[in-house]
Structure 1
Amino acid sequence: MTTPQRTDVLVVGAGPAGSSAAAWAARLGADVILTDAAVFPRDKTCGDGLTPRAIHELEKLGLTDWVRAHTVNQGLRAHGFGQKLYLDWPGGHLPSWGSAIARTELDDYLRTTAIKAGATCIDGARAVDVRMEGGRVAAVVFAQGSRGGERFEIQCERLVVADGVRSPLGKLLGREWHRDTVYGVAGRAYVSSGMSDDPWISSHLELRDEGGKVLSGYGWIFPLGTGEVNIGAGTLATAKRPAEVAIKPLMRLYFDQVRDEFQLEGDLRAEASALLPMGGAVSNVAGPNWALIGDAAACVNPLNGEGIDYGLETGRWIAELMTEQPHSDLAIVWPAVLREHYGESFSIARRLAGLVTVPRLLPALGPVGMRSDLLMTLALRWMGNLVTDEDRDRSARVWRWAGRKSLARDARPPFS
C-alpha cells in the first residue's frame, strides 16, 4: 500500500488514547491516519484493569458486547492490615461493573475499531521529527521499521500525540515532565491461576518489602478469565522521596506471598515495568494545531495508576474539538479542557498520593481505614475517580470541594 502523504488528523500512537481519537475523528467525518512505532498485536506494560469509568467510554464506542464476552468483575477485594473487604463498584452515573482484558488484545481491537470507522493505519512507523511552518506542525517525519529505515513524512492539518508515558514526539514539541509531584513505578506479569474467573479484582494495600517495611504502594491481582491473572506491584515516589526499591524483585516477592491464596501455578511470564508520570504533571501539552492526550499528557490517576479510562476520554474529547472547532487554537483551548475535567480531581489525588510517600504515615492510617467499610467504599470511589459531573450525592460533593481547595493551593496546577 502506498503511504498517504497528507491527512486532516494525524494520530501518533495507537494505544487506547490514540485509537479512541482516530475512531471518533473518523466517525465525525475527518480524514484520519493512525500510526504506531510497533507492529500489532503488541504488548503494553499495564495492569489490564478496566474500571467503570473505562467501561463507560467503551460503551460509547459501541463495544459493550465485546467487553462482556470477557471477564466481568463486580468490585474490589481489598486486603491489608489484618482485614479483607469486599467493595462493590459504586455505580452512580457510571456502570456498576468492570473488566480486565490483556492489552495485547484490547489495544488491537481498539485499533481495529478505528480502522472500521474509516481511519488509515500504519504500523512500524516511528515518529522521529516534525516540520514546522509558522509555529504550526506542518508534517511529521517517520522512520519505517525498528532500525530506523526509510524515512517519509505525512502532512497534517492537526496532530494528536498519543505516544505513551515517555512521549518522544511530545518531547520534540516541548513537553516537560515535572517530578516534584507524585509519580509511579510499577511492574506486572502474567501467571496461571485457579481463580482466573474470580468476580473480584484484588488489591493488597499492605505491600511490604523483604525487610517487612510497609511501602507506599500496593499489589494487585486482576483475573482475566483466560486461565491467567495479571499480577503486579507498584510504588509511589516524588523527587524528594524517590522510590528506593527494585520493582521486579518486589513483584516476585509479592507473587511468593500470595501464591497459595490465589492458586497461582507455574512461573511468572512477560514481566515488564514502567515509570508513570501522573496527575497532569507535564507542561506544554498543546500547540496551535497539536495536542497531547492520554499517558503522553500524564493523564494517569495518581491514586491507582489507571490511565486507560483517561486515554479513552481524552481521545474522544480531542476528536470532537478538532472536528467541531477546526480553527480553534489548541494551545489555549486544550489545556483548559484538561483542567476543566481533571484539574480538581488530579490536584487532590496527587496531593493525597504524595502524603502516602511520607514514611510511617501509611502504617499508621492504613489499619484505621481498613476497619471501616464506609471509609474504604469512599476511598474506592475517590481513588478510582468514579465521580462524574452528573453526580450530586454527598460523596461527590465532598470530592469536588476538596479538589477545588487543593487546586487553589497548587504552585503548579495540573497541565501547567
Structure 2
Amino acid sequence: MSTDVLVVGAGPAGSAAATWLARAGVDVMLADAAVFPRDKTCGDGLTPRAIHELEKLGLRDWLRAHTVNQGLRAHGFGQTLHLPWPGGHLPDWGSAVSRTELDDHLRTTALKAGAVGLEDARAVDVRMSGDRVEKVRFRGSQARTSTTENTFEIACRRLIVADGVRSPLGKVLGREWHRDTVYGVAGRTYVTSTRADDPWISSHLELRGEQDEILSGYGWIFPLGKESGEVNLGAGTLATAKRPADVAIKPLMALYADRLREEFGLGTELRMPTSALLPMGGAVSHVAGRNWALIGDAAGCVNPLNGEGIDYGLETGRVVAELLVGTPDADLAVVWPALLRAEYGEAFSIARRLAGLVTVPRLLPALGPVGMRSDLLMTLALRWMGNLVTDEDRDRSARIWRWAGRRSLARDARPPFS
C-alpha cells in the first residue's frame, strides 16, 4: 500500500488534517490503532475556539443538535460566578460531545471527503531513506501475511503523526517530552445528572483532597444534554518535575462527585473512569523531520491553563494540511516548528508560566479568594485561560495578553516546541 500523505491517528487532529487534505484533492490515508467508535480520555468540552474550527469543517448544524452552553460557571472560595463566553471574533457559544461520538463523526467526515480509512492498525516503526520517512510499519489485522508479527507497511511521501499525548510513533521518530514545565494529570468519568441540560459548564477552582487540603488543580462538570442524561465529571491537577503530583485521580473523582451529588443531582455510579498524563504548552522537542510532522496532542498542543486540546488539534490539522497543499516540498523540519512557535509560542509560554505558579504551595489558597471576588478579573481569566484571544482582537485585554506572552517567551530557557 502507498499514499501521498499518511495520517497516523484519527482523533480530532488527524481527522481534521485528512479532511482538509482530501478536500484539496490530495491522496491521503487515515490510519488508527483502534476500531471506531472508540472512547478517549477527555473532558468532552468544546470551547468557542473549537466551535470555530468545527464550523469551518461544516459541522455547525450537527453541533447545534447537541447541547449548547453559554459560558462557564466558576465555583470556589465561597463564590459562584457566571461568566459568559466573550464572543468577539469567536462564536459566543460552546458545546460538549462525548469523544466516542465526536471522534467517530470527525473520522466519518474525513472518509466522506475522500480519505482512505484504516482501522486496527497500530504504527510501530518507520523505514527511513536518508532523512525522509519512506514507509511506516503497522501491526494489525490488515497484514497480508501469516507471520507471527502480523505486520505490514505503507509507503508515503509525507507523514502526519497525530497519535495522541503518548505518541508512540513520535517517540520512534525522536519526540521527547520535557517535564520541567507544567503538565497535567487528569481523569474523567460519566455520571447521570438531573442537570444534564444545564446551559453552563461548571468548574470548581477550589479542588480539595481527602484531608480537605486545596490541590493545585480544578474539577469540572460538563453537561452532555438531556438526551444523554449524563455529565462528564472530572478532575485534574498540575505538576512539574520539581513538584510532581501526589494524587490518585480516580479516588479524587469519586470524592469530588460525593461532595457535589446533591447540588448537581448526580447518580451513584461513576461510569467508564479513565485518567491520563498531559504534556502541555508545547513542552516537546523534535516535532518534525524532513517530510513528517507531529500535530495536536502529539506535539504537546494542550492549553496549560484549562487542559483543552481539541481546539489545537483541529487547528494544527488544518494548518499542516494548508502547508502541505500550498508548499508540497517544504522542509518540515524547519518550517513546522517555526510555524507552531509563531502560532502558539507566546500564549503557551505565558500560560505554562502562570499554570506553574499554581503548583507552588500556599499560592492558590492565598490568591484564589481574591480572584473569585472580582467578576472583571475572572472574566479576563476566562478569556485568557481559554486562549480566546485571536489575532484580530485589538482591545486592551488582548494587547496585555500578547505583551505578556512576548515577555515570557523571551525569558524561556526552552521555548515551546524546542
Q: TM-score range by the shorter chain?
A: over 0.9
Deviates more, 1:147-156 or 1:28-37: 147-156
Letter in 2 for 1:160: I
Deviation at 1:212? 1.0
1:203-260 Cα offsets, whole Å, 9 max, x none, are 0000000111101100000000020000000000000000011111111100101111
Task: Give the corresponding residue for 2:123.
Answer: 127
Letter in 2 for 1:193: S
1:163-209 Cα offsets, whole Å, 9 max, x none, are 00000000000000000000000000000000000000000000000
Letter in 1 for 2:361: P
Is 1:353 matched up with 2:355? yes
State the alpha-carbon separation in 2 of the partners of residues 119 and 96 from structure 1. Answer: 32
Q: Is the 8 A contact 2:126 2:137 kept in 1?
A: yes
Task: Give the corresponding residue for 2:72.
Answer: 76
Task: Give the corresponding residue for 1:19.
Answer: 15
Aligned pairs for 1:374-389 within 5 A: 374-389=376-391
State the alpha-carbon separation in 1 of the partners of residues 277 and 110 from structure 2. Answer: 28
Task: Give the corresponding residue for 2:283.
Answer: 281
Q: Is the 8 A contact 1:126 1:145 kept in 2?
A: no
Aligned pairs for 1:3-402 within 5 A: 5-145=1-141, 150-225=150-225, 226-402=228-404
Letter in 2 for 1:204: H
Deviation at 1:146? 11
Deviation at 1:331? 0.3
Q: Is the 8 A contact 2:70 2:85 kept in 1?
A: yes
Deviation at 1:266? 2.8
Q: Is the 8 A contact 2:31 2:119 kept in 1?
A: yes
CA distance 1:113–1:149, shift in 2 (3 Å): farther
RMSD: 1.0
Q: Is the 8 A contact 1:189 1:270 kept in 2?
A: yes
State the alpha-carbon separation in 2 of the partners of residues 47 and 398 from structure 1. Answer: 29
Letter in 2 for 1:69: A
State the alpha-carbon separation in 2 of the partners of residues 368 and 145 from structure 1. Answer: 57
1:31-70 Cα offsets, whole Å, 9 max, x none, are 0000000000000000000000000000000000000000
Q: Is the 8 A contact 2:142 2:152 kept in 1?
A: no
1:269-326 Cα offsets, whole Å, 9 max, x none, are 0000000000000000000000000000000000000000000000000011011101
Deviation at 1:149? 5.1
Report SS of the residue matched to 1:260.
helix
State the alpha-carbon separation in 2 of the partners of residues 377 and 190 from structure 1. Answer: 28
State the alpha-carbon separation in 2 of the partners of residues 412 and 255 from structure 1. Answer: 38
Unaligned runs of 5+ in 1: none
Letter in 2 for 1:118: G
Report SS of the residue matched to 2:262.
coil
Report SS of the residue matched to 1:243.
coil
Report SS of the residue matched to 2:201.
strand
CA distance 1:209–1:74, shift in 2 (3 Å): same
Identity %: 79
TM-score by length of 2: 0.98
Q: Is the 8 A contact 2:8 2:31 kept in 1?
A: yes
Deviation at 1:82? 0.1
Deviation at 1:145? 4.3
Report SS of the residue matched to 2:281.
coil
Report SS of the residue matched to 2:41.
coil
Letter in 2 for 1:286: A
Alignment coverage as a number of residue pairs: 412
Report SS of the residue matched to 1:406.
helix
State the alpha-carbon separation in 2 of the partners of residues 300 and 392 from structure 1. Answer: 25
Report SS of the residue matched to 1:264.
coil
Stretches of 4+ aligned residues off by more than 4 angstroms = 145-149
